[in-house]
A and B are shown apart, each in its own frame.
Chain A
């Protein structure tokens, strides 16, 4: 019996989703933690909307972009940790003995992460709508937002896979989390760049690619169709994805050759 490329990918994607869902911590944290932070920040910083030039009426609308990025960061951790576990348990070695191709393994793994990314994005969006946020870009903007969430989940997931394949260690992958968090906190996540008063912080936020990912999502929520923000956001997300996939596939080749 000959199985096609899509059969292999679907099987591995389903395995990726099932193993994630079976671990409560892997489900609860990506869904709940970003929403908790949203609640804390939206409540605590709502008075920031009184600053002259603040672009939104409520802080929750301004901050709703952040959970999407945090969700992608959790995707990185899940993808990487799961793959590292496959390496540590010898599962990857056994897979190497099958006709499965490296690209199928990566696509399957990332397919599962993308599925989780969509589920997370739907939850964040639903919570946003429930608390009164209305997308300035309308229903079509929600579709674009979901596509963007898939893209960044795959991109960050591929980064996690690369780390796992290079190191073969779940702990090494986990240690990446603070690094990604630093990128997020040193971005324009809390205030628009033009309202960041500290010069060096504004400079760091301007060169930090995560700022543009946040701003692309934010533009769909509070501005409408800002083509520049979307082009920058999609362009950077695509670049991250391409580079991460290239690095992950090279690391996989090395890893399979070692096996």
Chain B
């Protein structure tokens, strides 16, 4: 029963996204745009003394953009949940669904499929512009699994917010914390090259572990793998509780 609800919600969400260019294009274009702006505009940064990533700046930035696309893919799906509540559709869904946890599952599945399309496009473009890959197939599975779990955590976070606030005006509440936690990681240079307060913040930021592990996978020299998976699994589990409680809040609101 739960899977039937999840399937219905996921199909509808994906149909909406893939038939509406204003929803589809930003989620495809934004990661590409960041990739171009960072990898193209800042490639000189690889010449900074101490920059030691072996595959070059394009590969260094690719991992960040891939993880960012995963996180924002989840947040964009959260916008759709908020829109469903604002339009009244989600309330009808709550009445009709025999198993309401399936609603959350359906949104999460839709976010995942949506991100897989984005990831395929971003990866294809990165390879076309000559990105080097040092990791084995197993390493790459590790990289994409990390991103996938981050996508799951992000959509569950955004779903929890959307179901509590039930308005499109909740958009910044979903987006801003994700933006901040991503950008307070070592985005432009390795952690060792950060100085002052940003080094302290980045060291404490759990997403730094994920980013470092992702770059390690791509380079073929895995690092901080256990910590990175612990972070994304922990976030996904924590935000599952957050999203399900959000669902209860939406049910209570009627």
Contacts and interface: CB of A to CB of B under 8 A. Distances in A.
A165 to B, nearest CB: 21
B42 to A, nearest CB: 6
Interface size class, chain A: 20 to 34
A197 interface: yes
A182 B29 CA distance: 10
Interface size class, chain B: 35 or more
B41 A196 contact: yes
Contact of B49 (A39, A50, A196, A201): A50
Contacts of A51: 44-45, 47-48
B26 interface: yes
B41 A178 contact: no
Nearest to A185: B37
Q: Say whether chain A's binding surface is mostly helix, strand, loop, or mixed.
A: helix
A47 B41 contact: no
Interface string B178-222: 001001101111000111111001000000000000000000000
Contacts of A29: 172
Contact of A47 (B26, B36, B50, B187): B50
B184 A40 contact: yes
B169 interface: yes
Given A36-B180, A40-B187, A182-B33, A46 B196 contact: yes
A47 B169 contact: no
Interface centre among B42, B49, B180 (most CB of A within 10 A): B42
Contacts of B123: none
Contacts of A36: 180
B37 A47 contact: no
B196 A43 contact: yes
Given A36-B180, A40-B183, A46-B196, A190 B41 contact: yes
Contacts of B167: none
B182 to A, nearest CB: 10
Interface string A192-236: 000111101100010000000000000000000000000000000
A175 B51 CA distance: 37
A48 interface: yes
A48 B41 contact: no
A142 B186 CA distance: 33
Interface in B92-148: none
Contacts, number: 83
A254 B22 CA distance: 27
A130 interface: no
Interface in A143-201: 175, 178, 182, 185-186, 190-191, 195-198, 200-201
Given A47-B193, A47-B195, A191-B44, A185 B187 contact: no
A29 to B, nearest CB: 7
B44 A195 contact: yes
B30 interface: yes
A25 interface: yes
A205 B43 CA distance: 14
Interface of B: 22, 26, 29-30, 33-34, 36-37, 40-45, 47-51, 169, 172, 180, 183-184, 186-189, 193-198, 201
Across the A-B interface, give the 4 residue pairs with the lowest CB-CB distance, nearest first. Answer: A43-B198, A185-B37, A201-B40, A44-B188
Given A51-B47, A198-B41, 5 more contacts: A48-B44, A186-B41, A198-B43, A200-B40, A201-B43
Interface of A: 25, 29, 36-37, 39-41, 43-48, 50-51, 175, 178, 182, 185-186, 190-191, 195-198, 200-201, 205
29 contacts: A25-B169, A29-B172, A37-B183, A40-B183, A40-B187, A41-B188, A43-B196, A43-B197, A43-B201, A44-B187, A44-B189, A45-B45, A46-B194, A48-B45, A51-B44, A51-B45, A178-B26, A178-B30, A186-B37, A186-B41, A190-B42, A191-B44, A195-B44, A197-B43, A198-B43, A200-B40, A201-B36, A201-B41, A205-B41
